[in-house]
Chain A
Amino acid sequence: MMLWRGIWALLAVAALVLAVLLPEGWMWPAKEMQLPMARWISAGMKWLTDSAAIGPVSFKDLTRGFAAVVEAPYEAARVLLVDGITEGKGRRAATIVPPLSWVAVTVAAVALGHYARDLMLGLLAGALMIYLAVFGQWESAMVTLASIVIAVPMGVAGGLALGIAGWRWKPVERVLMPLLDLMQTIPTFAYLVPVLVLFGFGPVAALLATVIYAMPPMVRVTLVALRAVPAEIMDFAAMAGCTPGQRMRKVMLPVALPDLMVGVNQVIMLSLNMVIIASMIGAGGLGADVLESLRRLNIGGGIEAGLAITALAVVLDRLGQALAERAGGRQALQGPWWRRHPRLVLVLAVALATGLLGLVLPAVQDWPKGWTVTTKGFWSGLMEWINVNYFDQLETFRVWMLEHLMLPVKRFFFALPWPFVLAVLALAGWRLGGWRLSALAAALCLFVAVTGLWEQAMMTLYLCGISVLVAMAIGVPLGIWAASSPSAGRGIGGVVDTLQTLPSFVYLIPVVMLFRVGDFSAMVAVVLFALVPAVKYTAHGLRSVPAELIEAGVVSGATRGQILRKIRLPMAVPMILLGLNQTILLALSMLVITALVGTRDLGQEVYIALTKADVGRGLVAGLSIAAIAILADRLIGAAAKGARERLEGAG
């Protein structure tokens, strides 16, 4: 133990000395050792799209067919929510059947809320829908909603199917698990590139990217939920003489439903997040509005669209959660179907009535333009006011942080020779998890080295490292505070939960408004986005310390401070480490998005690849980020496991 402490201290000193003495980029991987992976991938992709074929069916036909399958339901959703049925094209198109009126959609939201929990939730959902109408975001929101309405069932169905297959056949699970790990660590942008190349620019490609992105958690939840079906229930299914199909349909899936709904909720939130990001490849809707505003630095428009996304996220999240809690709480209703589904009947009636009434009274169909309120001016004014009055303070803060914190850290990472980094990672892997982890760490590090993206990777490490540091420095004390009293816990928990529902894009808006583009803005956005797990896990870890231990401390005469320092915090270390792990993963995924505000890291690499539709470049950079994420995940995961075992061994 002492020996290892000495070795780590020595290594830390060595790293610092190296960082001070060596010039930046002194020993980065040489050009000769780089593999042209990007070119290989691009060539492979070209072969796929141009000449690959299974028998008479070319790969291109396959992707086209796949796109067509996705497109039909999406078009139907668009008709229902946005376009209606029209005749003719462009400006001369005449509407034959209008889409659902704003009244009908709002009533549907209220009814769904009432069905999921109670009238309060229904009214909240309805109010947020009206908010969208009042602030003129209706049409964009409906475009986004149309994507989600289609993406969610597809993601859920696909996730269920894969999860069931993984449960049923061990080999499938063995293939699936590492794939899921990889899919969850590859940043969102990196998905977009191959999808863009295979399916072109447009809503269908965006929808596919969304489904692929949102599916992995559903697969995982399905696997876990199916395994959690009690053994006795499985025995009962066998004794009742169920065939394997009956057992799955009639017993396992219904019993697992409450757990599965948690997965559905995740699919909903991830779909929303991705639909927004996928506006880069033509998803349209609110995401496109934000993107447009960011590009043109249209402050007011960006904030308005961002708030609309927030409203939509809150509605979807609350409804999803309520539905998850409700699952399994069915009441036995009798009678014909219109009796058993009174809300559905109401919504259908309102849709029909307002559709007809809308022909005479347009205000029922479309929210009248005159009634919309725009806050663009207000937001622009507010930003201007802040910038006029507080520019110096903000600027001083920014410059101070850059000079005293960010640049030194950046220099540190840039000066490290790559063999040194590899050696330290391998050593850490060996200490924390044995030779397997050591080999994995070395291999991942080597991968990044041979991609020729070492500089960008170091840039990523530096931005990620500093953001995580700041996020932990803010999040852990917040977590301690949240755990200190129920009221603080509720307050902070509420804020944190809302932060978590927001798509990552939204965080960029206020940051860019205040600090313009650059590394500092990126850091602030990443910190905001990645703060949540730091707070949550800390609070949870502190709260789950056994009451007996705290009582033992109290009767020993420990003060509150002593109990916190000597009992609760040490006991919470494994949980806090898991929080750190999550924070790092979130930071990495957000970092990629901050490419939009001009960082020069791996994220930028992906972003450039996206704009050029360069699959090889995008995937290599994306995989590099995934390599960093997996490295962090495994090392910290092993550390948390070790800490937990030490605590349990001692207790």
Chain B
Amino acid sequence: MTPPVKLACRHVWKVYGPHPERLAAAGADLDAIRASGHVGAVRDVSLEVGEGEIFVIMGLSGSGKSTLVRCLSRLVEPTSGEILYDGEDLLKASPARMIEIRRHRMGMVFQNFALLPHLTVLENVAFPLEVQGLAREAREARAREVVALVGLQGRERHFPRQLSGGQQQRVGIARSLAVEPDLWFLDEPFSALDPLIRREMQDEFLRIQRQLKKTIVFITHDFDEAIRLADRIAIMKDGALVQVASPEDLVLAPADDYVRAFTAHVARAKVVTLGRIAAAGVPEGIAGTLPAAARVEDVAEQVVAANAPFAVERDGQAVGHVTPAAVIAVLVGRGG
């Protein structure tokens, strides 16, 4: 059951240089673009993001992932292509319509937080509501709710400079959620944070998402972060998509050497699901039942400790079983 498509882009190009349209229209390849003195920041990207999905765009710096997300939100004007949000082509929207869509239906979190230094936490969070023209009481009441959601109660009157990096990004997250958008862009939201804080913020992010079920486009250069958070990952290189797949498929079936280089060092137990390694049939003497979507890493201890097979089920239907041996095979990097 695939969810309905919330955001789609078709053949999106962003070429910088003297004659960008020409190259985009010709569908020129990388060498041709470079040779003509242009930069192909985004090349012929098509993708679909389903409702409620966490869609991660992963790439190294310069791969075009930031430009792509800015094309999706139309912060950058694509050279050509279509961006469909709930079926409406954003590239055909008038400036006024764009303002309308951004005010009510999009939120964005930025790498360096982009908080307004002259406003308090509460005022920052209430800012998107303020530009909509909401009265002070109403917007501050709503701002208080989201500030509480990200766990910053009691700091409403602080200024950004008085907060730690992690706290500042919580403000950024709260602010992007204040208008209750359906579509949530996060542009490397945790890259500027210390590793420990980063992990904590990822958990926090997953918690919030479980609660709100937004459609999310999440940018990162950190592959571990991508597999931790993503329902699906798109890997970008030189402005083009290399592969779009679930973390599990990426690791188990990399499309080319470039993707393989990323996935080679990933512990398989982190991505492989029980559904993948389940053997057919449910034998006698099972120790319990586990969901097919569970990742091996999360259940390994339980299965090995029980020293007995577990039934695996998807949507309430038994689809097979896993044995401790199969789990251990994944843990040591052989199975899957």
**What is the interface of chain B, defined by CB distance below 8 A to chain A?**
70, 73, 75, 99-104, 106-108, 110-114, 116-120, 127-128, 130-132, 157, 159, 176, 185
Contact = CB atoms under 8 A, between A and B. Distances in A.
Contacts of A242: 99, 131
A230 B106 CA distance: 21
Interface of A: 230, 232-233, 235-236, 238-243, 246, 250-251, 254-255, 257, 328, 330, 332
Contacts of A236: 108, 110, 114
A332 B118 contact: no
Given A235-B108, A240-B128, A328-B118, 16 more contacts: A232-B111, A235-B110, A236-B108, A239-B75, A239-B102, A239-B185, A240-B127, A241-B101, A241-B103, A250-B127, A250-B130, A250-B131, A254-B116, A255-B116, A255-B117, A330-B118
B103 A240 contact: yes
Nearest to B132: A241
Contacts of B120: 332
A355 B101 CA distance: 57
A611 to B, nearest CB: 50
Given A241-B100, A328-B117, A332-B120, A235 B75 contact: yes
B131 A241 contact: yes
Contacts of A232: 110-114
Contacts of A230: 112, 114
A369 B290 CA distance: 97
Contacts of B118: 254-255, 257, 328, 330
State the main secondary structure of chain B at its contact with A. mixed
B114 A238 contact: no
State the main secondary structure of chain A at its contact with B. helix
B238 to A, nearest CB: 22
Contacts of A251: 116
A241 B128 contact: yes
Contact of B99 (A233, A241, A332): A241
Nearest to B119: A254
A381 B225 CA distance: 81
> Which of the listed residues A238, A328, A330 has the most CB atoms from chain B within 10 Å of its own CB?
A238
A239 B130 contact: no
B106 A239 contact: yes
Contacts of B102: 238-241
Contacts of A233: 114, 116
> Which of the listed residues B100, B108, B113 has the most CB atoms from chain A within 10 Å of its own CB?
B108
A256 to B, nearest CB: 10
A328 B119 CA distance: 9
B176 to A, nearest CB: 8
A357 B157 CA distance: 42
Contacts of B127: 240, 250
Contacts of B114: 230, 232-233, 235-236
Contacts of A255: 116-118
A236 B131 CA distance: 12
- Nearest 10 pairs between A and B by C-beta? A241-B103, A232-B114, A241-B102, A236-B114, A240-B128, A239-B108, A254-B118, A232-B110, A241-B99, A233-B114
A290 to B, nearest CB: 41
26 contacts: A230-B114, A232-B111, A233-B114, A235-B108, A235-B110, A236-B110, A238-B75, A239-B73, A239-B106, A239-B108, A239-B176, A241-B99, A241-B100, A241-B103, A241-B128, A242-B99, A243-B99, A246-B131, A250-B127, A250-B130, A250-B131, A254-B116, A254-B117, A257-B118, A328-B118, A332-B157
Contacts of B131: 240-243, 246, 250
Contacts of B130: 250
B144 to A, nearest CB: 15
A457 to B, nearest CB: 45
Contacts of A328: 117-118
Contact of B107 (A239, A254, A257, A330): A239
A332 B118 CA distance: 10
Contacts of B113: 232
A250 B127 CA distance: 9
A328 B118 CA distance: 6
A243 B98 CA distance: 10
Nearest to B181: A239
Contacts of A257: 118
Nearest to A330: B118
A432 B203 CA distance: 60
A242 B104 CA distance: 12
Nearest to B108: A239
A254 B130 CA distance: 15
Nearest to B121: A332
Nearest to A247: B131
Contacts of B112: 230, 232
A241 B175 CA distance: 13
B11 to A, nearest CB: 24
A235 B70 contact: yes
